């Protein structure tokens, strides 16, 4: 892969936690070129900045260099990181748990003996709620997500490991920005409409089935299905 086509590859691959503006100077050893990828990037609600750099150093030496830099800065480096999904490239990830900024470094050797690096940092502290086709925000830890429209109502269904209080607290924190006001725990009203957060235990221990239902404030309240 050449440096000229790397930008397109990075944008299509969109690596996880490939981040935002962060108080960290990359200072690429042996740098011959560095360019930002895109402007005001965001993926799944995560603000991010990605740089592509070219260096005369070998890939292993560069990864070791940044591992030492992250360790010196006091960032957490997980013991097992695996490879970039779909690309099978070695990667280095780290977390600044004070500012809640995640870092990602990976790269590949070029035919001319140089190395191309992808450098990124993700602003986890300012991640935006993920919205669905219904327009309802999605709880971050949601699994088995489905959304649907039923006559004059829209609904978002998912399962989650956790408590009903945690789910309601999430919607309590994000719905007011859209003009919704909490009338009672788990019920938010606006312009004659209501969003209700309904929950039911599933057959899996510790798991809840959640339905976030938006409908007329006069409509009867339904119960969420139990997921098998």
When comparing pLDDT for 50 and 12, which is higher?
Answer: 50
pLDDT for res 23: 57
Per-residue pLDDT band for 206 (boundaries 50, 70, 90) equals confident
Quick one: which H or E segment has residue 193? strand 193-201
Q: What's the CA gap between 149 and 136, in Å, rounded?
A: 12
pLDDT of residue 9: 38
Could you give the CA distance from residue 78 to residue 17 in angstroms, rounded to a whole number?
A: 14
Q: What are the structural domain ranges in the chain?
A: 3-126, 130-216
How far, CA to CA in Å, does 211 sit from each of 44, 76, 144? 21, 36, 12
Share of the chain above pLDDT 90, in %: 36
**What integer pLDDT is reported at residue 21 of this predicted model?**
44
Most confident of 22-36, 54-68, 130-144, 162-176: 54-68
pTM higher than 0.85, yes or no?
Answer: no
Measure the CA–CA gap between 17 and 223, rounded to whole angstroms.
36
Q: Which CATH class is domain 130-216?
A: alpha beta
């Amino acid at each position: 892969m050449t440096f000229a086509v790397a930008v397109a590859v990075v944008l299509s691959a969109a690596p996880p936690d490939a981040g935002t503006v962060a108080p960290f100077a990359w200072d690429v050893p042996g740098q011959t070129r560095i360019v930002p990828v895109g402007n005001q990037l965001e993926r799944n609600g995560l603000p991010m900045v990605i740089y592509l750099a070219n260096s005369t150093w070998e890939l292993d030496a560069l990864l070791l260099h940044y591992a030492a830099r992250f360790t010196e800065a006091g960032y957490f480096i997980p013991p097992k990181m695996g490879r970039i999904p779909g690309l099978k490239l070695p990667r280095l990830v780290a977390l600044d748990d004070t500012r809640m900024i995640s870092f990602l470094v990976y790269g590949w050797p070029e035919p001319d003996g140089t190395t191309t690096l992808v450098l990124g940092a993700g602003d986890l502290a300012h991640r935006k709620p993920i919205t669905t086709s219904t327009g309802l925000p999605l709880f971050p830890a949601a699994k088995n997500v489905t959304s649907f429209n039923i006559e004059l109502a829209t609904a978002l269904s998912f399962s989650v490991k956790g408590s009903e209080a945690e789910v309601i607290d999430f919607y309590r924190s994000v719905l007011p920005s859209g003009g919704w006001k909490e009338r009672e725990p788990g019920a938010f009203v606006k312009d004659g409409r209501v969003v209700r957060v309904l929950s039911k235990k599933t057959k899996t221990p510790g798991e809840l089935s959640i339905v976030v239902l938006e409908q007329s404030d006069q409509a009867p309240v339904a119960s969420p299905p139990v997921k098998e």
